[in-house]
Chains A and B, each alone.
Chain A
């Protein structure tokens, strides 16, 4: 079984600050992908960033970047120049591939990020 752990239930930072959300995971598969999803109060699930396990280079998307430490099974999300619109639940998720098919995402319990004006 695979697991995803987010150890920070809630974080609060001031607008324009940089914040890092932690995530650790466990899987026995070699072929897997990691994601960060954002869920604002509207409850839509919005993809923030994606990382292929076979790539050593950390993924970046504008103000969002990850620190992927494969040996440590760690996948943290850094948000630079945080904005009020970044306030949301953030979920770390993992999908593994065994036998050629994806088995669905495994999610952490989420981190509630609050950006203070």
Chain B
């Protein structure tokens, strides 16, 4: 089955530590996205990538970094500069820039501070 796989499902971060959230898709989608969801809130865009080796900052990129070395993969690193990382993180992908195709979402990663 085609889909988006996020791992791990739960992640704990220690003070001063960088952690990386994995996102892999086998839908052959060009675009990939990372969103953050806080309790009682909608999703906010962190980073997105339309093609391999290119990505853009979203609304809340500070304290996060990404890479897009392969079409299928778009890992997100939560750096120690992100002072409030506790949230639910969702990865998404979509096909064909400019066509309004809906984004497909993974099952999410819940990140907490130890």
Listed in ascending order, the chain A residues whose CB lies under 8 Å from chain B are 4, 6, 31, 33, 35, 42-45, 47, 50, 52, 91, 93, 95, 97, 100-110
Contact = CB atoms under 8 A, between A and B. Distances in A.
B40 interface: yes
Nearest to A43: B108
B42 A52 contact: no
B86 to A, nearest CB: 15
Contacts of A6: 42
Contact of B102 (A4, A50, A107, A109): A50
B11 to A, nearest CB: 15
11 contacts: A4-B42, A44-B107, A95-B100, A101-B50, A101-B98, A102-B100, A105-B35, A105-B43, A105-B103, A106-B45, A110-B40
Given A101-B50, A104-B48, A44 B98 contact: no
A97 B98 contact: yes
B23 to A, nearest CB: 14
Interface residues of B, number: 26
A100 B100 CA distance: 11
B64 interface: no
Secondary structure class of chain B's binding surface, majority of residues: strand
Interface in B1-58: 31, 33, 35, 40-45, 48, 50, 56, 58
B90 interface: yes
Given A47-B104, A104-B35, A107-B42, 20 more contacts: A4-B42, A33-B100, A43-B107, A43-B108, A44-B107, A45-B105, A91-B42, A100-B98, A101-B98, A102-B31, A102-B94, A103-B45, A104-B33, A105-B33, A105-B35, A105-B45, A105-B103, A107-B35, A109-B41, A110-B41
